[in-house]
Structure 1
């Protein structure tokens, strides 16, 4: 839409655009850990509302940039506020929903990311047809940034804080909510942090395996967000048509994500759905590599988009609840997500303009990561089933809905993993 010509001197190699795209992830990785740990000390409605408002401000400020440096700084700011928001949302949902309910809730929430991709394409298509003295790419940032500011400010008053402090609940409802928070675990006091559990998070090999899974799937997610319109344009469509044609893959991705998470909650299985979702994504990349048919390659974008968002949706519902305590989640979520966002930097740089139109390097790496995620998810499922069975033999079977002493987080004898 003219950004590279106005701000990046035409960017013939595509490398400057890749750096701009990566700026978000640099900030996200650097500030994610303090952004999640500090969030535990503040009212959640204020923390999340301020994060969303700041995100909107920085998004809008991108429209004021006139060179690479200005755009990079504004984009970096978007990443700072995103690091305060997304990881804390995964933690925030655990305050209100049990492990049997959280999959579909987080699935619906994360499906909004896929739906946003669809609306982003529609908005971009519409903006390209506006006759204006203001550059169209600037209008796009303004149109996408200002609503985030408005909703962010509103959410400070609309969102409830934790169940024990929010004013939305009666005392009877509050007691019930706190009881639900302790199912399969033990609720922590508001504004406290168990430092032993924070240290345990850094030593837990499982969190680094989660990080590897997240690395692979975020490679694909970042590539989708930045390059899907370009890939579709290479199939022979105009830039405006390509923006419009990104809508159906994102819409289908949102629907499949929600369906998969509902099924996952019903059967209390996260790993097996992740295996199948990763597999169909890998097949999608293979089709992009081997096929020259426009129809087949466009169909492949449906497989890839639905796979990417489904795997991320399952991951954010699966991984946090296997950490055993609020403090370990507060430390563990940013650890595995920081590793994962390194994959986003990778995904932002594996589709250089020189590789068009086949992009063998980008598609090949993403295909390999999808197959690897499939294998790792299967391995983790087998491990969790084995560990649950071992604890049942040693300590007896437990009621998953009863409070459990999790003073040793997920290593406590009464804790059972979600598989």
Structure 2
């Protein structure tokens, strides 16, 4: 139970106290709540979506640079190109755990803004690379810079939106990823037609890096640390924003102090490890496909710049399935994990087309490559599972870090199956990617079974859920309890 002091005041991540009693005294109308929700959707989601667009655009730049002679200019040979991808995710891995601690201790909006600014600078440094060693250093620090972004946005979504609202909002800012896949080739195509003395691959890194750093400055003014200090909300709207999410019982206000007991809870929670194993398995595919997609596409018979444009259908496929999946998860009960399984099956079918079709079947193999990336839209659904089903800000932060560590390890291992001797078809890599996705389906089914079993067990032990007062919801928010400790908590499927 929260004590009397907790119910009177609390401290937000910036260190400012706010009056809980004042928040509870606000009597908002449905129209006022809808107005706040509209503001969040119109301002917060585009802020995060644009940052995620830039992140994936920057991530794609290395693959696209191979079509502008990056490998030849830096004298990369053998498996060295594969290692440039692996070291990026090692940097991601290296900073994921420290970031889970820092992101709780620091004002999250300011921290993420600084991270975006710095990673843009690191991307620009890629243009100064003259050797494999220099590129490895740049890729490592780019991974460090990008490690906090998606986990941070996941936590922000949990702060500002109810559990029912989260799937479509997680998908909304992840939509930036899909747009990057769709128009990223067009941007690279345009850069490829710039005449000048600077190599096109260097221009790509300089232009994208400068844009990213400039956007980091914009975020520093607009991205909030919590609902309490969102500059685009009026004081009464901030109180309404907090009230809206009390029913989540997932620790919206439980921040500013890292709780080691919640970290231990994360390490012993079966749902967390099933999410982690699923992340590792699916990213065995992601690491290889993302890194080698330009080379694979060129291997289908397209010239270098045309190979860039032929990657656009991948973005279109992601957008179509992202919209269908996010709507299904919003309006169909217990659809999240089932939707993830179906998306993964679609990607397996796509990889089979690439693997089995004759090289002369150019259109069929391009369709296969477009479908093969559909699994990627499971990432925002995984985020929504964490924000909806894991209570406690510190536990949520640690769980997100573990998921992204698995994400990094999968992305480091996956490219190693794409053997230089098998370029450009990479049959071993394609089969390894398929194996990872099949394992992903297995872990997702286990997660679904676990949630069903645990909810039924809680109903037997604690009884069916009953309506609780706003005060009781607040007590759960400030109790420092995790989802396994709150008796009224039920997992969403």
TM-score range, shorter chain: over 0.9
Q: TM-score, normalising length from structure 2? A: 0.80
Q: Does 1:294 align with 2:347?
A: no
Give the one of 197, 200, 217 matched to 2:282: 217
Q: TM-score, normalising length from structure 1? A: 0.94
The Cα offsets for residues 43-69 of structure 1, whole Å up to 9 and x where unpaired, read as: 222111101111111011101111112
The Cα offsets for residues 288-326 of structure 1, whole Å up to 9 and x where unpaired, read as: 1111121211111121112x2222222122234222221
For 1:16-415, list aligned pairs within 5 A.
16-185=80-249, 186-268=251-333, 269-292=335-358, 293-306=361-374, 308-398=375-465, 403=473, 405=476, 407-412=480-485, 413-415=487-489
Q: Structure 2 regions of 5+ residues with no counterpart?
A: 1-67
In the TM superposition, what is the alpha-carbon distance from 1:157 to its structure 2 partner?
0.2
Secondary structure of the residue that 2:227 maps to in structure 1? coil
CA distance, structure 2, for counterparts of residue 368 and residue 122 of structure 1? 32
Secondary structure of the residue that 1:319 maps to in structure 2? helix
In the TM superposition, what is the alpha-carbon distance from 1:416 to its structure 2 partner?
0.8
CA distance, structure 1, for counterparts of residue 484 and residue 246 of structure 2? 16
Say whether the 8 Å CA contact 1:111–1:255 is kept in structure 2: no
Secondary structure of the residue that 1:410 maps to in structure 2? coil
Change beyond 3 A, Cα 1:45–1:371: same
Say whether the 8 Å CA contact 2:129–2:135 is kept in structure 1: yes
The Cα offsets for residues 66-124 of structure 1, whole Å up to 9 and x where unpaired, read as: 11122111111111111122211111111101111111111021121122122221122
In the TM superposition, what is the alpha-carbon distance from 1:400 to its structure 2 partner?
8.4
User: Structure 1 residue runs of 4+, over 6 Å off?
Assistant: none
RMSD over aligned CA atoms reads 1.8
Say whether the 8 Å CA contact 1:212–1:339 is kept in structure 2: yes
| Correspondence for 2:25 | none
The Cα offsets for residues 144-189 of structure 1, whole Å up to 9 and x where unpaired, read as: 1111111111110021220123343333222222222321314434
CA distance, structure 2, for counterparts of residue 70 and residue 180 of structure 1? 49
In the TM superposition, what is the alpha-carbon distance from 1:399 to its structure 2 partner?
5.4
Deviates more, 1:131-140 or 1:200-209: 200-209
When Rg is computed on C-alpha atoms for both structures, the one with the higher figure is 2
Aligned length: 415
CA distance, structure 1, for counterparts of residue 398 and residue 248 of structure 2? 19
